[in-house]
Structures are given as structure tokens and as C-alpha cells.
Amino acid sequence: MFTGLSAFPLTPMNERGVDENAFTRLVQQLVAAKVDSIGALGSTGSYAYLSRAERSRVAQLVVEAAEGVPVMVSIGALRTRDVLLLAEDAQAVGVKALLLPPVSYQKLTQDDVFSMYEMVSANVSVPLCVYDNPGTTHFDFTDELHGRIAELPNVRSIKIPGVPDAPHLARERVVRLRKLIPSHVTIGISGDALAAIGMNAGCDAWYSVMGGLFPNIALAITRAALSGDAAEAARLSESLKPLWALFRQFGGSFRVIATAAELLGFTHSPSLPLPLRTIAGEGREQIAAVIQALELS
């Protein structure tokens, strides 16, 4: 399940709780589009803002709605104690894989993080995906650490935060990491704007934020890249330039995609947990214009 398009849906919510109907509709759209896997409760799915009970409930909902499409959920938490409990909860409702970010408040050392993966990987019975995204976890993996973690039992994939945008540098990056990890561990790209470059450079999977709302175009890019048609993948990604520009303008994909989900009627505003908010005013109009111009839906 760690190849192809892994689509990361939002978890629409407000101060009263999760909008379960909206979440289920988002998942159903991914199933209908035939994504390769679903990455629920990722950063995009606001796992960090939900209680243990809420996370268990959302995991149950996605497994039910996924109709057999393999589901991964994040078990990230500041404390290893809580990670282990979340892993139990997730496995109990039938998820097929666990995404594990080294979430930090006090700065973590490379050894702290290795020990955490060592303990968790020894205590789970489904595969693990390593989550590397300093933008949210504030932890920087060395490649040496990736190599050590990838040797642990149950580790099957690494979600990397991006690649250089020059294709030959992207390839060097992927080759360098690949040399350090066992062949049964895949590499998946995140950072949607870099996905085509990443897959063209040898990444096996795309862990995608935009794919959680716009699975059809994300699947077209994934299929082109992974079937060897690098030019078509690049062309399709290039056609989304106005979307990538919005991601840059608003500090990442998360709020843009959440705003788009509201605009498209999947959910209502507010759909993010305060203090987070979707984009209002002129920015919202820009997003609506890009959705329309690109015929995203």
C-alpha cells in the first residue's frame, strides 16, 4: 500500500466536534476515484488537534467508508506513551498502516527519535510509515537516521517532505536516500507541487494533500509518473501552477485545501479547529477563481 497515490483527506470540524458526514463524503470521493490508499488523520486531517477518542472515532469512520481501500492513520503525539495507545486504538478499528511523525515541543535529538521508532515498531502488528516533515514536527532527520529507522521491523515507507525542484538534483536526492534503506522500504513524496518531480526522480508514492480533495488530477499525475511518462506527469503538474502559487502564498497547502473544501460544499465554515481558520476575504476569492479556472472538482 506504500506505492501510488495515497490521498490525505481533511477532517472537517468545528468547536463542537468533527463533522462526520462531511468527512465521510470526502472519503467516499477518494474511494470512487480509486486512489491507491487513504492517509486519514495526517497533518491535513488535523490529527494533532483531536482527542484520543475523536481520533479513534475518525479512524473507525474512514475504515468503514473506505470499502477495502487500505487506510493509514497518524499515531503522532508528543509522548511515546500516547503514541502506543493511539497505535492500539487504530489497529483495533482495522487500519492497515500507521503513520508516525516525531512530533516535538522540546527539541528532540536523533537518538530520542530513533528510540521512539524502535519502541513503537516493536509494539505494532501493521506496517509503519515514517513521517518526515520539519514544517510541522520541527524535527530534522539526518539520512543516517532514516537508514537506521528503515531497518526496524514493520517500517515500510518514508514520507519525505520534498525534493529539490531541479530534476537531476531530485534524482540525486532520491538515489542517496535509497542507498541507505532496505529495498522493501518505499519512498513517498509530499509537498504537492514537487510530487511529479519526486515521482519522476524515483519516489514510489505520493502522500498528497491535494489528492485528498482533488483525487482525479492527482491520480493522473501519479499514473503518468509511475508508468514512466515523465513528460506527461510534468505537463499535468505544470497545468496546476496557479494552485501551487496559492500554496506558496498561504504558507502551504493546508489552509488552501481546507478553504477549497468549504467553497466546493464538502463542508461549511468554520471547518478547522480554532485558532486555525480557513482563508477569508480576497484570498478566498482567489482560491475560488483558481478552482474555477483549473476546473478542479
Which residues lie near a second copy (CB under 8 A)? 15, 43, 46, 48-49, 78-81, 102-103, 105-109, 112-113, 115-116, 119, 135-136, 138, 251-252, 254-255, 273-277
Q: Which three cell numbers stand for residue 148?
A: 537506521
Chain CA centroid to CA 132, Å? 10
CB of 143 to a second copy, least distance (A): 20
Shortest gap between Cβ of 230 and a second copy (angstroms)?
32
Q: Which of 75, 80, 77, 67 is nearest to 33 (CA)?
A: 67
Q: Which residues contact 90 (CB under 8 A, 6 or more apart)?
A: 55, 56, 59, 73, 75, 98
Residue 66 buriedness (CB in 10 A; 0-12 / 13-18 / 19+):
buried
Residue among 28 and 115 whose Cβ is closer to a second copy:
115
Q: Using CA atoms, how far apart are residues 160 and 195, in angstroms rounded to an integer?
A: 11
- Of 4 and 76, which has the nearer Cβ to a second copy? 76
Phi, psi at 131, each rounded to 5°: -105, 115
Whichever of 200 and 253 has its CB closer to a second copy, that residue is 253
- In the complex with a second copy, which residue's Cβ is closer, 86 or 203? 86
Least Cβ distance, residue 57 to a second copy (angstroms): 16
Nearest distance in Å: CB 82, a second copy: 9
Q: At closest approach, how far in Å is the CB of 232 from a second copy?
A: 33
State which residue, 133 or 222, has the beta carbon closest to a second copy. 133
- The three-state secondary structure class of 59 is helix
The neighbouring-strand residues paired with 189 are 160, 206
